[in-house]
Amino acid sequence: MKKVFAKIFASTLAVLVLFSTLSFTVDQHFCGNFLVDSAIFTKAKTCGMEMNSATSAEASITKEPCCTNKKVEVKGQDELKQNFNNLDFQQQLFITGFVYFYLQVFEVSEPDFIPFKDYSPPKLVCDIQLQDQVFLI
């Protein structure tokens, strides 16, 4: 259950990051106050009620069109991480010191030299504990 929850949570966060950086445009066509069509990434279809431009004398008297187009642009997030150049001097100094001391803690040191490592122990002639009468109780 815990693995399934972790996978669902990771997938949700991945989708959230994807959609927070995605930019898109919604184009809407209104005829009067009614929404006729809306489209994402493309131009919205019209209702066919637009006025044609006429070159006659009737064109001198213009009537306000009943159709309007509305374009909504949703901008995504541009910057996801802070650059090291944007930090002030004290923050850079702290990070540098922290990394230096953190690496010193986990530094791999050479193993200590043991001079008697290659020598075998002396042969046991008699049991020394019995000879000295020393027993663990």
Residue 22 counted as domain residue: yes
Backbone angles phi, psi at 9, to 5 degrees: -65, -45
| pTM, rounded to two decimals | 0.41
For residues 42 and 113, what is the distance between their CA atoms, to the nearest angstrom?
74
Residue 44 counted as domain residue: yes
Residue 116 counted as domain residue: no
Edge-to-edge strand ranges of the sheet holding 24-31: 34-40, 24-31, 67-74
Q: What is the pLDDT of residues 36-94, one digit of tens each?
A: 888 888 888 887 776 555 555 555 566 677 888 899 888 887 766 666 667 788 988 99
Pairwise pLDDT comparison (52 vs 104), residue with the higher score: 104
Residue 92 counted as domain residue: no
Q: Per the structure, how many domains does the chain have?
A: 1
Range of the structural domain that residue 37 is part of = 2-74
* pLDDT for the residue 106: 79
> Is residue 108 predicted with pLDDT exceeding 80?
no
